């Protein structure tokens, strides 16, 4: 079977969905000998950081809704896979759609008109698709509720961690706590991370730094940067910007502790990546984060609880070792081959 893949996300973005799509297709090509995966991109020379001018957005919709159906027909494609809404509504072949989460519905900073537009695109795409995949049971529940689709049409296919993670802790005298929001949208709630770190006792705070990995541009980042300055935390906070997978693995492995204060996640890939690298994890207990962390890390509800948990972990080498061991065992349950195999199963069961 010829499976056409909307591959634009892999070439346009540097976030979790680009990582997911690249790793999924790589694994599928290695283990799936029955199907052929054909990549489609409206700008084959596209690259991360692709600028979204008005004409570019218009062209992408024209390409998706008018050009892609023609390419599918010409290439005799049997099935379409879209890693994110919207889908191509004029396709006549079955469609498999991934809806990572419904985070935009939980974003209070998003304009109402944009939230309404996104809901419409997600709703129409969800009902056009033969099968929907997502990354957690929490997201499955949200998708069924928000877009009024049958739950038996939605399949949970968990993600996996970094392919080339450091199995040994980095030998460094530099002591730091790490968080990986990727972006600084309000939902990532980086302010709680900063406040929790600030509340640590001086003996810990004076010997550790807070490392924040994410795109260091845009209005949201400037707001966080200004907040750091207003809290007099600039000297203790390091913004790395975007980093490569290899550098990210090194940063995870060298950290004393990973923390996540996001208010909503469809899966929480950085949490799994940290556990894969043997870094103790403390996370907020919400959305899918509790589902991913389970008992392999410490779950908290606010920055006061977070600060106390951070102190507890950083003061105890024994607790650090326990969390490292639990985290690695938990992370071992998630592999890209398992993700690809579950994806193939969803195809065979629902697209015949």
Task: Give domain limits for the chain.
Answer: 2-160+335-350, 176-331
Distance CA 40, CA 42 (A): 7
The per-residue pLDDT for range 17-63, each reduced to its tens digit, is 888 899 999 999 999 999 999 999 876 554 444 445 556 778 888 99
The per-residue pLDDT for range 76-116, each reduced to its tens digit, is 999 999 999 999 999 999 999 999 999 888 887 788 999 99
At 1, is the secondary structure helix, strand, or coil? Answer: coil
Q: Say how many C-beta atoms besides its own lie within 10 A of residue 159's C-beta.
A: 24
Q: What is the mean pLDDT of the chain?
A: 90
Name the fold adopted by 176-331.
Rossmann fold (3.40.50)
Q: How far is CA 315 from the centre of its chain?
A: 30
Rounded average pLDDT over 255-282:
94
* pTM, two decimal places: 0.85
pLDDT recorded at residue 163: 65
351 closest CA partner among 38, 2, 96, 133: 96
Class in CATH terms, 2-160+335-350: alpha beta
Distance CA 52, CA 330 (A): 38
* Total residues belonging to the chain: 352
8 A C-beta contact, residue 120 and residue 46: no
């Amino acid at each position: 079977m010829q499976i056409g893949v909307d591959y634009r996300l892999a070439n346009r973005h540097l976030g979790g969905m680009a990582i997911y799509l690249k790793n999924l297709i790589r694994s599928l090509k290695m283990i799936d000998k029955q199907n052929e995966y054909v990549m489609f991109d409206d700008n084959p020379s596209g690259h991360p950081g692709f600028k979204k001018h008005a004409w570019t957005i218009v062209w992408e919709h024209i390409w998706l809704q008018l050009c892609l159906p023609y390419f599918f027909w010409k290439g005799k494609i049997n099935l379409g896979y879209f890693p994110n809404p919207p889908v191509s509504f004029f396709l006549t072949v079955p469609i498999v759609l991934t809806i990572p989460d419904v985070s935009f519905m939980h974003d209070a900073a998003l304009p109402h008109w944009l939230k309404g537009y996104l809901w419409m695109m997600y709703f129409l795409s969800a009902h056009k698709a033969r099968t929907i995949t997502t990354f957690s049971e929490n997201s499955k529940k949200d998708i069924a509720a928000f877009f009024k689709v049958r739950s038996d049409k939605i399949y949970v296919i968990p993600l996996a961690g970094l392919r080339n993670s450091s199995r040994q802790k980095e030998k460094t005298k530099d002591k730091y706590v790490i968080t990986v929001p990727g972006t600084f949208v309000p939902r990532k709630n980086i302010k709680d991370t900063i406040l929790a770190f600030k509340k640590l006792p001086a003996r810990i705070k004076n010997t550790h730094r807070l490392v924040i990995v994410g795109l260091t541009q845009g209005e949201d980042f400037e707001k966080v940067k200004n907040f750091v300055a207003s809290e007099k935390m600039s000297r203790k906070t390091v913004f790395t910007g975007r980093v490569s997978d290899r550098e990210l693995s090194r940063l995870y492995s060298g950290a004393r502790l990973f923390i996540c204060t996001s208010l909503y996640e469809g899966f929480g890939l950085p949490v799994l990546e940290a556990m894969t690298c043997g870094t103790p994890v403390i996370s907020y207990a919400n959305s899918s984060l509790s589902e991913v962390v389970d008992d392999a890390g410490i779950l908290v509800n606010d920055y006061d609880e977070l600060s106390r948990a951070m102190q507890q972990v950083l003061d105890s080498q024994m607790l650090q070792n326990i969390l490292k061991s639990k985290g690695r065992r938990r992370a071992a349950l998630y592999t890209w081959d398992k993700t690809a195999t579950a994806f193939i199963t969803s195809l065979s069961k629902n697209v015949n």
